[in-house]
Homo-oligomer: A and B are copies of this chain.
Amino acid sequence: MAIKYDTLVTQSLAKQIAENLREAILDGRLKVDQRLPTEEELAARFSVSRPTIREALKRLAAQNLVRSRRGPAGGTFITRPSDAELRVTLQNATTLMVTLGEFDIDAITEARLELERLCLKLAVERRQPEHLQRMADELQRQREPVSDEEFCAADVRFHRALVDATANPVLQFNMVTVIEALQPLMNMIANRTREREVIVDHHQRLLDAVSASELPAAEKALTGLVDYLRQQYQLARERQAARG
């Protein structure tokens, strides 16, 4: 007769406890700002030692699901990660996917073009003066003699303003993968002065078209920009290959 073993629990106690609490938090059984029992009480409750409980809590803290304070009114409190923290999570996950080598430049280029074009469609209809102003500000900054890092940051903020103009928070969140994670990788190569001018030109055309609510012109500017970046990337790759 075949023996049916229990699903043998070889995971560490701390991991199990963390999962346990995690589910309770996500299910809503533990509510935001609610205070957990003290570490000692938790240790007693789960029949483990305090350091084990601490390890479990640290796992949750790494996910921004709990926060601890010292003192009599202190303790460990349930928190929901903030919008900003979740965006960083998204950004990190996408960056890791790139370093995993799952994405090639063509896939990245295509996805960026398609996704940002989608946003463009909504943005030309809904953009407010605020968004145009933000884009103009960043464009101005890109014309100044700033560092590579600052140019790239201004570039990101320019496209972020465009995405924000869609007035759709789901898209705004989703586009973190493209704007904050993938885009910086794309123009890491295109940072020399000559290339900056070309990029700035494309940005200017994009802004003009969005200001005038001319979708075809805007799409043309975006396509031009993305195509240019892909070309530059290819050139950089070939140069690198020629050297190596």
On A, residues with C-beta under 8 Å from B are 14-15, 18, 26, 28, 51, 54-55, 58-63, 80-81, 83, 86, 89-90, 92-97, 99-100, 102-103, 107-108, 110-112, 114-115, 118, 121-122, 168-171, 173-174, 177-178, 182
List 25 A-B residue pairs with CB atoms under 8 Å apart, sorted by A's residue number: A18-B62, A26-B92, A26-B96, A26-B99, A51-B54, A55-B58, A58-B59, A59-B62, A63-B63, A80-B96, A81-B93, A83-B97, A86-B93, A97-B173, A102-B173, A103-B169, A103-B170, A107-B170, A108-B170, A110-B171, A111-B174, A114-B121, A118-B118, A170-B182, A174-B178
Q: Could you tell me if B94 and A173 are in contact, using CB atoms closer than 8 angstroms?
A: yes
| Cβ of A78 to closest chain B Cβ, rounded Å | 12
| Cβ of A196 to closest chain B Cβ, rounded Å | 25
The count of identical subunits is: 2
Q: Could you tell me if A173 and B177 are in contact, using CB atoms closer than 8 angstroms?
A: yes
Partner of A169 from the list B107, B171, B174 (CB cut-off 8 Å) is B107
Q: Could you tell me if A171 and B111 are in contact, using CB atoms closer than 8 angstroms?
A: yes
Partner of A170 from the list B14, B60, B110, B121 (CB cut-off 8 Å) is B110
| Cβ of A18 to closest chain B Cβ, rounded Å | 7
In the complex, which residues of chain B have a beta carbon less than 8 angstroms from the beta carbon of A99? Answer: 26, 28, 80
For A109, the closest partner residue in chain B by CB is: B170
For A104, the closest partner residue in chain B by CB is: B169
In the complex, which residues of chain B have a beta carbon less than 8 angstroms from the beta carbon of A178? Answer: 174
Q: Could you tell me if A170 and B86 are in contact, using CB atoms closer than 8 angstroms?
A: no
Partner of A171 from the list B58, B83, B114, B170 (CB cut-off 8 Å) is B114
> Given A86-B93, A118-B118, does the pair A102, B169 have CB atoms closer than 8 Å?
yes
Partner of A93 from the list B89, B169, B170 (CB cut-off 8 Å) is B89
